[in-house]
Amino acid sequence: MNENDIANLFTELGMKVEKGNAPGVYTQLIISPPLGDGPKVTVIRPSSTSNYFVVTMVIETDEGRLTPSKVRAITTELAKMNVEVYMTPPDKPRLIHIAKIIYAEGANKNDAINAVTLVKNAGIVAFNLLAD
């Protein structure tokens, strides 16, 4: 599976697929619902020789919103979902980074759909835990 396969897949599914231009990455695809301003998931291929994709979402919060108890709750729930999660900056977190890796060799359409859906759902869980 390559970045064109991923772009074509989500376009075929009716999603909005935009090519980003983040510095330092070979490919960046931003996938979002076809209508409205729903959650955006980004698929990154770090370099032309990378054998994997990083499916990621970043949630920005207001300063002070991520209390230690909310950080614990979010990291615990997202760990149960089998996604990577970390907060930045470490001293006063404002950004929640959620990610899942897809190894390109042998990956199929279902792997891509599952990873993008998983990261999107993890983002929704994190967002809802912030609202508590």
- Which residues, including other chains, have CB under 8 Å from residue 22's CB and lie 6 or more apart? 28, 44
Q: Count how many domains the chain has.
A: 1
What's the alpha-carbon Rg for the chain, to the nearest Å? 15
**3-state class of 20 per DSSP?**
coil
Residue 119 has a pLDDT of 98
Q: H or E stretch including 66?
A: none
Q: Are residues 30 and 116 in contact, defined by beta-carbon separation less than 8 angstroms?
A: no
pLDDT tens across 81-126, in order?
A: 999 999 998 888 899 999 999 999 999 999 999 999 999 999 999 9
CATH number at residue 90: 3.30.1460.10
Q: What is the pLDDT of residue 4?
A: 96
**How far is Cα 124 from Cα 40, in angstroms, rounded to an integer?**
11
Confidence band, pLDDT 50/70/90 cuts, at residue 38: confident
Mean pLDDT of the residues in the chain: 94
Domain around 49: 3-131
Number of H helices, E strands in the chain: 3, 6
How confident is the model at residue 91, as a pLDDT? 83
Rounded Cα distance between 129 and 29, Å, is 27
The pLDDT value given to residue 65: 81
